[in-house]
Amino acid sequence: MAADARALDVIAPENLSPVAGAQLRQRMAAFLALLRDNGFLVGLEEAQDCLRFAAAADLGRPASLRAGLRSVCCTCRADWQRFDELFDAYWLERGMKGMVKVSGTPPKGRGARRLSEAGAPRGSLGAPDQVSREGAEAGGNPADRQGRREGASSAECLAEADFRHLVTAEELQRVHELADRLARRMRHRLSRRERQRRKGRRLDLRRTIHRSIGRGGLPIDLAWRKRRERPLRLVVVLDASGSMSQYSTFFLRFIHGVLDRFREAEAFVFHTRLIHVSPALKERDAAKAVERLSLIAQGWAGGTKIGESLAAFNRHHAARVVHGRSVVMIVSDGFDTGAPELLAREMAALRRRTKRIVWLNPMIGWQDYEPTAGGMSAALPYIDLFAPAHNLKSLEALAPYLEQT
């Protein structure tokens, strides 16, 4: 093996004719940059490997260059399927749609279009900036859009921007990416916590024997390991009614990311009735999962019936999905067209079953908001955490609360 590595060095680009080597390096670097712009995880190490490979392989045939770079640069199935297209476009100069050419430009094409359709609904309740939204949606001024975009600090700005105020497809796309990343970060924090508390009630033989040496091998001082605590179960109940429609896609996206971390998780969407959507969230591809969920949530008319939906939840699902280690997270603005008494009764019933109820309400983030909507005030006494959820920052603030077991 070591001999092989040395053999590679001998024919490494720097030992070839310097001009050809430099050219290859440049071409390769540009290709890797293209991959990076298209979301591939390609770093320095991969770049070196690509060059080592290029030096060792017979590059006369594009097929072997393709196969080799594909093995090195792909890290998941999506990359795997996308690779050929990008390879052709760059090395064989075949044009393609949807390729990202410039660093930092959000991908256009399918993804972005879908978002602008699904994520920017019309005719929603309680949206003071309705007019400007529709203006921009109707086409807007390309130069203006250009001006809005990016810069190093834009990620932070977007994190604090109310989801309602996001207008362009690019912004939506970026926020969705941020939500994904946030979900992943939270997932990691949560799992670290779990690791630290993983002590248990199992005999730790290694330490026991250490301690028994001084006692002639008699294990008198026993060392214990605690049994691993089982993780929290997260049950999400999301309001997908018209008044929430500006927010629901973000939550779906975010929930999809976080659920992946909770080994035990269930999700429900309600509007006028309740639907169990966990299977749809099993879809690995976030955009696809959200699309499927949006399809499920579409096409219901009439007001929001939180009380009735919760009643359905308590009757049909709660026994199965809610237990002592569950956190029930309700995401809703609390505009209930049903009777507040029913909601209060069902909240009380739910309260008896579970340890914690979190109610996320995007409207808390609005200025001068008071939870006076009939439903909301009826539900308040049964809630452990009543938190805003109108932007990414507020979602991030939830992490510490979810960490407590």
Partner 1 sequence: MDRKEISEQLTKVGYVTDSQLTMALWLMERLERPLLLEGAAGVGKTEVAKALAEVHDTRLIRLQCYEGLDANAAIYEWNYQRQLLAIKAREGRGETAEEVEKHIFSEEFLLERPLLAAIREDKPAVLLIDEIDRADEEFEAFLLEVLSDYQISIPELGTVYATSIPLVVLTSNGTRELSDALRRRCLYHYVDYPSEDKEARILTTRLPRIDATLARQIAGFVAAVRKEDLRKVPGVAESLDWAAALVGLEVRDLRAEPEAVQDTLLCLLKTQEDRLALAPEVTQRLLGKVA
- Closest contact distance (angstroms) between CB of 209 and partner 1 is 5
**Is the Cβ of residue 80 or residue 401 nearer to partner 1 in the bound state?**
80
Strand partners, 387: 360
Alpha carbon distance, N-terminus to C-terminus of the chain:
49
- Contact between 333 and 243 under an 8 Å Cβ cutoff? The reply is yes
**Is the Cβ of residue 75 or residue 298 nearer to partner 1 in the bound state?**
75
CA distances from 153 to 150, 159, 160 (A): 8, 10, 11
Please state, in angstroms and rounded to a whole number, the distance separating the CA atoms of residues 382 and 48.
58
Number of Cβ within a 10 Å radius of residue 58: 7
- Closest contact distance (angstroms) between CB of 1 and partner 1 is 6
- Closest contact distance (angstroms) between CB of 392 and partner 1 is 21
Residues near partner 1, by CB under 8 A: 1, 4-5, 8, 41, 43, 45-46, 49, 52-53, 56, 63-64, 67-68, 70-72, 74-77, 79-81, 191, 195, 205-206, 209-210, 212-214, 216-217, 219, 228, 260, 284
Q: What is the DSSP letter of 320?
A: H
- Closest contact distance (angstroms) between CB of 373 and partner 1 is 38
**Is the Cβ of residue 212 or residue 337 nearer to partner 1 in the bound state?**
212
- Give phi and psi for 230, each to the nearest 5: -75, 145
- Closest contact distance (angstroms) between CB of 14 and partner 1 is 18
- Closest contact distance (angstroms) between CB of 65 and partner 1 is 10
CA distances from 25 to 11, 18, 29, 52 (A): 14, 10, 6, 11
Provide the CA 285 distance to its chain's centre, in angstroms. 10
**Is the Cβ of residue 58 or residue 370 nearer to partner 1 in the bound state?**
58
- Strand ranges, E, within 224-323: 224-226, 233-239, 264-270, 274-276
Please state, in angstroms and rounded to a whole number, the distance separating the CA atoms of residues 240 and 296.
10
**Is the Cβ of residue 73 or residue 331 nearer to partner 1 in the bound state?**
73
**Is the Cβ of residue 45 or residue 93 nearer to partner 1 in the bound state?**
45
